[in-house]
Amino acid sequence: MKLSESRILASADMARKNKIGIILINSNEAQRNEDDSYEEMKKYAISQNYTFHYVLDKNSIIADAFGATRTPHCFLFDKSGLVYRGAIDDNIKDATDAKEHYLFEAMNAVGMGKKIMTNSTKSIGCSIKRLE
């Protein structure tokens, strides 16, 4: 998630502009005693100035239900249901080199009531750390 920090904040701004709610879900169950502990999550949310919910996915139940595999793995809904799933953009390593901005384009389409041109992409990033 660290490579996506600026994109997560930018996504939250884009969602707010398009009157879309946002929630960030931490599904890394296998690292709850480390950086992904609830206490560390709270500190991190404050340090990043999150203005949205950042919640813990106990036992990766939500990630499993949605088929999330990576961090971040984005899911966008409108009033009819799931309309986009996948990556924020096409370059996990460098946001400035991204050529495709999948999530932003999808949120803009939802905000304008238009059809989303790309509704599914491969999620790129670190794998979700599940308990074995």
Q: How far is CA 54 from the centre of its chain?
A: 10
Tokens coding 89? 């953009």
Could you say which DSSP state residue 71 is in?
Answer: E
Which tens digit of pLDDT belongs to each residue from 69-115? 999 999 999 999 999 999 999 998 888 899 999 999 999 999 999 99
* Confidence class for position 35, pLDDT limits 50, 70, 90: confident
Taking residues 36-55, report their average pLDDT: 92
Q: What is the pLDDT, as a whole number, of residue 52?
A: 94
Structural domains of the chain, ranges and CATH numbers in brackets: 2-127 (3.40.30.10)
Q: Considering the entire predicted model, what is its pTM?
A: 0.90
Calculate the average pLDDT of the chain.
92
- Cα–Cα distance list, 10 to 30, 64, 74, 76 (Å): 28, 26, 14, 15
